[in-house]
Amino acid sequence: MNNLAISQAHVFLIFIINGIIIAFIFDIFRIFRKSFKTPDWVTYIEDIIFWFITCVILAYSIYTYNNGEIRLFIFIGLIIGAILYILTISKYIIKFSVKIIRFLKIIFYKIIYYITYPIKIILKIVRKLLLRPICFIFINFRRNIYNLLQKNVNKSVKPNK
């Protein structure tokens, strides 16, 4: 075979692999979106990050493996690689990863709960010991001020006889 044809076939296979890598990176973002509820602006930032990563990968690959020449077979290789990945293993990777992340989230929340539970009990006790007397003082102070004001109002208003 011609050396040029072998070289172009090699580049074509590299861009099929690039398509698989880009589709996998897209799946990483999909996994995070399924695992964590995020506001829309975070999704926009994730999209910008995804396209930035994609541009860096493509620019590096085009300049490294094809001397900066953009050819149609590069895009065909990218599309074939992405389609192969999406049709074969994407679904399984997403399901498995989401299950792992959900399991890790449950473990993380339980660890946080068990760490913070004694702190909550201590705060509840401290609140009862410290805040009750303070609240009692303020409630009585407010009541006394209210009574004083009522007496002053009652003294200032004398009935006409």
Q: Which two tokens stand for residue 105?
A: 């989230």
- The reply to whether 88 falls in a domain is yes
Residues 116 and 10: their CA atoms lie apart, in Å, by 57
Read off the amino acid at residue 141. Answer: F
| Full residue range of the structural domain in which residue 141 is found | 3-155
What pLDDT is stored for residue 148 in this prediction?
Answer: 67
Number of domains into which the chain is organized: 1
Q: What is the pLDDT of residues 45-69, one digit of tens each?
A: 999 999 999 999 999 999 998 888 8
Residue 78: pLDDT above 60? yes
Please state, in angstroms and as integers, the Cα–Cα distance from residue 150 to each residue in 137, 147, 153, 158, 159, following that order: 20, 5, 5, 13, 15
Q: Angle at CA 110, nearest 5°, toward 105 and 111?
A: 100
Residues 45 and 41: their CA atoms lie apart, in Å, by 6
Strand intervals (E) in 62-160: none
- The reply to whether 161 falls in a domain is no
**Which percentage of the chain shows pLDDT scores above 90?**
50
Residue 157: pLDDT above 80? no
- The reply to whether 125 falls in a domain is yes
Residue 113: pLDDT above 70? yes
Residue 94: pLDDT above 70? yes
Q: Do 23 and 81 form a contact (C-beta atoms < 8 A)? A: yes
Task: Output DSSP code: residue 57.
Answer: H
Please state, in angstroms and as integers, the Cα–Cα distance from residue 8 to each residue in 62, 111, 147, 150, following that order: 12, 54, 95, 96
- The reply to whether 46 falls in a domain is yes
Q: Angle at CA 110, nearest 5°, toward 107 and 112?
A: 110
Read off the amino acid at residue 98. Answer: V
* pTM recorded for the entire structure: 0.69
Please tell me which of 52-66, 119-133, 146-160 the model is most confident about, judged by mean pLDDT: 52-66
- The reply to whether 104 falls in a domain is yes
